[in-house]
Amino acid sequence: MVSVKMTFSLDQDTADRLRDTAESLQKPKSQVVREAIHDYAERAGRLTEAEKRRMLIALDEMASTVSSRTEVEVDNELAGIRRARQAGGRATHPGATGQ
């Protein structure tokens, strides 16, 4: 692997943590940084546990409001909408106001 020399500025707490981690793992600081970046890149773009829970709650709420209509009723409504679109739109009721 070809190495590229780079310079970073770290706050004191981060620098201390890097030094302590490198000492505890008995690895060079550059190796700890490489492994940390690799691990971070692997997780990037994935949902956090909190995001997963929030989305599952939203899905449960949506599932509890599912229509009670039968498949035949839904198919009939969709067919009516398609017919109306092909005919130029839905007919308005007498006395109905526009948007």
Each residue of 18-31: pLDDT tens digit?
999 999 999 999 99
CB 27 within 8 Å of CB 36:
no
Count structural domains, the chain: 1
pLDDT recorded at residue 13? 96
Q: Which helix (H) or strand (E) holds 36?
A: helix 29-43
Give the contacts of 55 (CB within 8 A, at least 6 positions apart). 47
Mean pLDDT of 53-72: 87
Examine residue 96 and state whether it is found in any structural domain, yes or no.
no
Examine residue 2 and state whether it is found in any structural domain, yes or no.
no
Examine residue 4 and state whether it is found in any structural domain, yes or no.
no
Q: Is the pLDDT of residue 4 over 70?
A: yes
Examine residue 35 and state whether it is found in any structural domain, yes or no.
yes
Examine residue 3 and state whether it is found in any structural domain, yes or no.
no
CB 33 within 8 Å of CB 18:
yes
The owner of tokens 């700890």 is 32
Examine residue 55 and state whether it is found in any structural domain, yes or no.
yes
Examine residue 6 and state whether it is found in any structural domain, yes or no.
no
Range of the domain at 20: 12-84
Examine residue 7 and state whether it is found in any structural domain, yes or no.
no
Mean residue pLDDT across the chain = 87
pLDDT for 79-95, tens place per residue? 999 998 988 866 666 55
Q: For the chain, what is the total number of helices (H) and then of strands (E)?
A: 4, 0
